Amino acid sequence: MDCSLVRTLVHRYCAGEENWVDSRTIYVGHREPPPGAEAYIPQRYPDNRIVSSKYTFWNFIPKNLFEQFRRVANFYFLIIFLVQLIIDTPTSPVTSGLPLFFVITVTAIKQGYEDWLRHKADNAMNQCPVHFIQHGKLVRKQSRKLRVGDIVMVKEDETFPCDLIFLSSNRGDGTCHVTTASLDGESSHKTHYAVQDTKGFHTEEDIGRLHATIECEQPQPDLYKFVGRINVYSDLNDPVVRPLGSENLLLRGATLKNTEKIFGVAIYTGMETKMALNYQSKSQKRSAVEKSMNAFLIVYLCILISKALINTVLKYVWQSEPFRDEPWYNQKTESERQRNLFLKAFTDFLAFMVLFNYIIPVSMYVTVEMQKFLGSYFITWDEDMFDEETGEGPLVNTSDLNEELGQVEYIFTDKTGTLTENNMEFKECCIEGHVYVPHVICNGQVLPESSGIDMIDSSPSVNGREREELFFRALCLCHTVQVKDDDSVDGPRKSPDGGKSCVYISSSPDEVALVEGVQRLGFTYLRLKDNYMEILNRENHIERFELLEILSFDSVRRRMSVIVKSATGEIYLFCKGADSSIFPRVIEGKVDQIRARVERNAVEGLRTLCVAYKRLIQEEYEGICKLLQAAKVALQDREKKLAEAYEQIEKDLTLLGATAVEDRLQEKAADTIEALQKAGIKVWVLTGDKMETAAATCYACKLFRRNTQLLELTTKRIEEQSLHDVLFELSKTVLRHSGTLTRDNLSGLSADMQDYGLIIDGAALSLIMKPREDGSSGNYRELFLEICRSCSAVLCCRMAPLQKAQIVKLIKFSKEHPITLAIGDGANDVSMILEAHVGIGVIGKEGRQAARNSDYAIPKFKHLKKMLLVHGHFYYIRISELVQYFFYKNVCFIFPQFLYQFFCGFSQQTLYDTAYLTLYNISFTSLPILLYSLMEQHVGIDVLKRDPTLYRDVAKNALLRWRVFIYWTLLGLFDALVFFFGAYFVFENTTVTSNGQIFGNWTFGTLVFTVMVFTVTLKLALDTHYWTWINHFVIWGSLLFYVVFSLLWGGVIWPFLNYQRMYYVFIQMLSSGPAWLAIVLLVTVSLLPDVLKKVLCRQLWPTATERVQSPGYQSTCPSAAWYSSHSQQVTLTAWKEKVSTEPPPTLGGSRHHCSSIPSHSCPRSRVGMLV
């Protein structure tokens, strides 16, 4: 009896969950393993259906209603509606039910339509045909019927139907090319590799005979991580175990390119594929405006409850006298007399709640959502933010945060690809102290035979020549660059003199720049074929190196290595990486000379890499193979074990040299940062680059200025002093001047003020974030934050992705709770983009992970200026007016109803007709404020771009502070008093019309309502600065619609109404001269205080925005002229003096011209800052 099944079951279910739940076993082709190998335990996995929809036909109504009534406002109005149905209330249930029904229906239709589109897309995806192997034959079936373990065939230009382990392809070397544009936006071709022992299976019969099992991790959403191993069984021998990594995994949604067909085995299907797991939405971000709106709603809810309580109490005080409680014309029944007093009071309280509930505006939520959704299109339609070079425009991934763009206080930006172009150009290399520059330019002419020219001294010795060629070979071999395929050419892809150049593809622009640079120095990388790398040397001879191992790059090690074997049998390990990760592992080479050159290049803003090597003997290589194999096949902690193995392998190296690559600043990056700083926004740069390189870039983009005193909080300084001493010393330095000038107001732009810039590295940040050793609850964070607040700019270098998010979180949750914005272009920026209040992705060359995970995406960093200073400013102005106006007009609406109760014996009699109650927020006053909130421009776009300081007028939620909210509320109360008592005094003296009829309560209410509609609409007209024909049409059209509706509503006997109380009321009111006089007079008196307040404030205490709105305004920016007269060459001086006495040329220009023109010699650059 075979006990393997029992043994496996006992092991899985008794050894502890952690031993089995983290992995799964897949039987390739559903073939059982050979007897005695392992137990065959069929496992159930989901089918291959993708379900992105939220609803089904059966659950749409209950589920959608449940989700909508989870919103407090909707639930509140539902309760009010139910109360109106249950008890005898003064208003019809229609008055609450109809607006609620309208809101719920519109939202449900919108969500239902969106879900129907998702259903349609899901069906198209689930029903597409797929080819798979069954009993050695090709069978076709629908994608949704695929199961884990099926062997699938995919042809060129088809997308992979599920996550597959790559078994074989039609290529002899077992590779295939894929694009993952639909997953991460990267359009470049990526190379994937088949399992070594299955890549020779090219036919359906061969692949059908494959006997193998796969052990891998359970599904998880990381697109770039996969851990597994495959056991390939032969007839006689033990199974061959091979590691599986992300290079063997083909993801659902990716597309096969430049490969005729591939075979793969399904390991994750349906909702377990990595693509489906990435469907999960990001955590919901809420704007400051939304939080203010909720706070205001709570205040108004308290006001509502107070009104209802006051009226309930006063009603029973009024009715304490018998003749008032039970007048002769309204005798009570016996059951009414015997009702419980508490129950009667509670019923009356609910009735008053219903009567006054319109103070809570249900339509405000719909209007705000429509404003955000429609307003977001103004960003996508902005032609100024469209990049012609890339053909990309801005993207809005969420419209919930539009107004937050106008509230940003801190910007955290990546450097490479965000501030810089991420378009690398090879500038030079230093080999054993000798500098080599391709295509040296002198007096505007390229020197002939310039490849390999030594710029420092005589040519190297014979030994040096050998090292030189070894260095060039290292650059040709130590990379992951792919050569663009051309199947019609078999052999060398480039003739050195023929002018036909290779096209290199890589996920890293640095690698392409290095390979292209060394090509200009005489060594050309040709291709990788059958695991052999081919290069063309200076003598036009092809050299072949067998690629034995690749030690991949990662952000922690900051280096990569390859192990290759030459044609003569020599085995080399070539390693390249950051100087901080290479120098400690070097035991030989001219370290001092190369280090000096690296530091000089870093100061000039060039990206530097060091190259080292070591020769391996066969025994060493075999030991390395065993070490790597053990780490690669591990299912638990594979990454940790690989890191430990790499650490052992990459040591005792010989330093060969270093490279320098230039990454130019993006267009107008410096102007953008300068404008943002003038707007009162603090800009922090978070980068993984070394300190000198990052600091030079910060000088070039004007983050640091000529008078900026740099403060260093780095590992080197902490080694010399304790962290405690360094922090307190920096604190004393920056806080000495904090009492004299307010840095927040000047934002580091005054030439007379001592300006501080802080530089911190990742290791120092780790120490700051770690709690103190004495176990005290306090730590150094607060002190660090205090130093940062006093600095105009902060540079964080050598940052890991997680540390970037930690920095953002630290500022985000500091005591001021500032609004933060993070911007980046790479996958390493995603964590900080998700952490910040607003995340912006740059659609760059490092893929689209950042753009996909962001709230907004822009083509270039320069577009951030308009996005914040113009769009953000407008969004905030518009929505803050919308929120305040809604509360104002509802106070105007309901406070006369409250006052009316004092004149009707607290009988809960309504002042307005049911139609007016229902349509006030839905029809009469809704469109003007919606159009205002979409189109208002209180100042011109050019003015906002020209004068960034206007951004400060709306900073820190200035227009939704309690002071402003109270003003709007008091204005609403004043207007309500004018409406009510003005109409009351008019009616007191003219109660009889010319034909002898008496004005009744409905005429009185209609007069109050008419004055109110005209007042709140004209109030909005007075606030409007930007008039278009649409504004005129909507504002005057709304007033006309009210008049026409009232004439029709009161001029026709409607058969569907059981009452005709409004018949002829409106016409009768307009036939009275005093009513016309009252309307004009009361509207004027209501608007007068607000007009006077605006005139006085503009004359006595004008804001910067109000000064700009005045006709004689001329923009003046005194600081801009001062800064524009100082070139980048001057601003770099302070930093360069620390490292090198030789002043290098300006960052971004050619470093090898014999003569250069200073940037400040062009008069146009002086005025460029003012534009």
What does pLDDT average to in each consecutive run of 10 residues of the chain (1171 residues)? 42 38 81 71 83 84 86 79 80 76 82 83 87 86 90 90 91 81 62 85 85 88 82 78 88 86 92 75 69 85 90 84 64 68 84 83 80 88 85 83 89 84 82 78 37 44 76 89 56 39 71 86 84 87 88 78 90 89 87 88 82 89 87 78 87 90 83 90 85 77 82 80 82 69 41 73 82 57 85 84 84 88 82 88 71 84 91 92 91 90 83 84 87 89 88 86 91 92 77 61 87 93 90 92 86 65 76 82 91 86 77 48 34 36 36 34 30 24
Give the integer Cα–Cα distance in Å for 693 and 699. Answer: 10
Amino acid at 142: Q
H-helix segments, 762-913: 762-769, 781-789, 801-812, 830-835, 849-853, 863-866, 873-900
723-735 and 781-789 are packed helices; what angle lies between their axes, rounded to 10 degrees?
30
The dihedral sign for the CA sequence 1120, 1123, 1126, 1128: negative
User: Which two structure tokens, joined as six digits, stand for 57?
Assistant: 């036909």
SS3 annotation, 685-729: EECCCCHHHHHHHHHHCCCCCCCEEEEEECHHHHHHCCHHHHHHH
Short-list 975, 905, 969, 981, CA closest to 311: 905
Q: Which residues sit opposite 524 in a β-bridge?
A: 536
CB neighbourhood size of 474 (10 A): 25
pLDDT at 738: 57
CB neighbourhood size of 747 (10 A): 23
Residue with tokens 């016996």: 334
pLDDT at 10: 39
Short-list 507, 410, 390, CA closest to 857: 390
Q: Which residues sit opposite 250 in a β-bridge?
A: 164
State which H helix or E strand residue 1062 sits in: none
Amino acid at 162: C
Structural contact between residues 68 and 100, judged by C-beta atoms closer than 8 angstroms? no
Burial of 569 (0-12, 13-18, 19+ CB in 10 A): exposed
Residue with tokens 């429509």: 370
Burial of 284 (0-12, 13-18, 19+ CB in 10 A): exposed
Short-list 1160, 886, 243, 1139, CA closest to 627: 243
pLDDT at 1165: 31
Distance, CA of 366 to chain centre: 25
User: Which two structure tokens, joined as six digits, stand for 999?
Assistant: 């004005």
Q: What is the DSSP code (8-state) at residue 403?
A: G
**In terms of residues, how long is the chain?**
1171
Collapsing DSSP to helix, strand or coil, 331 comes out as coil
Give the integer Cα–Cα distance in Å for 957 and 409. Answer: 11
The dihedral sign for the CA sequence 761, 766, 769, 771: negative
**Pair type for strands 682-686 and 186-193:** unpaired
Structural contact between residues 861 and 418, judged by C-beta atoms closer than 8 angstroms? yes
Q: What is the DSSP string of 489-517?
A: --S-S--TTT-----EE-S-HHHHHHHHH
641-to-619, 629, 637, 890 alpha-carbon distances in Å: 21, 10, 6, 66
Give the integer Cα–Cα distance in Å for 186 and 255. Answer: 12
Torsion angle, alpha carbons of 1134, 1135, 1137, 1142, to 10: -110
Ramachandran area for residue 326 (φ above 0: left; ψ -120 to 50: alpha; else beta):
beta
Give the integer Cα–Cα distance in Å for 688 and 981. Answer: 69
Amino acid at 927: L
Statement: the pTM of the whole predicted model exceeds 0.85: no
Short-list 565, 554, 651, 558, CA closest to 610: 558
Structural contact between residues 692 and 596, judged by C-beta atoms closer than 8 angstroms? no
Give the integer Cα–Cα distance in Å for 425 and 358. Answer: 65
Burial of 156 (0-12, 13-18, 19+ CB in 10 A): middle
pLDDT at 16: 38
Give the integer Cα–Cα distance in Å for 161 and 138. Answer: 16
Q: What is the DSSP string of 1072-1117?
A: -HHHHHHHHHHHHHHHHHHHHHHHHHHHHS--HHHHHHSTT-----
Cβ neighbours for 939, distance < 8 A, ≥ 6 positions apart: 950, 1025, 1105, 1108, 1109
User: Which two structure tokens, joined as six digits, stand for 1028?
Assistant: 């278009």
**Pair type for strands 571-577 and 586-588:** unpaired
Read off φ and ψ for residue 348, nearest 5 degrees: -65, -40
Give the integer Cα–Cα distance in Å for 21 and 277. Answer: 18
Q: Which residues sit opposite 758 in a β-bridge?
A: 711, 794
State which H helix or E strand residue 796 sits in: strand 793-797
Give the integer Cα–Cα distance in Å for 1081 and 978. Answer: 10
CB neighbourhood size of 961 (10 A): 13
Structural contact between residues 504 and 483, judged by C-beta atoms closer than 8 angstroms? yes
Cβ neighbours for 568, distance < 8 A, ≥ 6 positions apart: none
pLDDT digits (tens, 9 = 90+) for 225-258: 888 888 888 766 678 888 888 888 998 888 898 7
Residues annotated as catalytic (active site), given as ranges: 414
Short-list 1012, 1005, 985, 840, CA closest to 921: 1012
pLDDT at 1162: 35
H-helix segments, 420-540: 462-477, 509-520
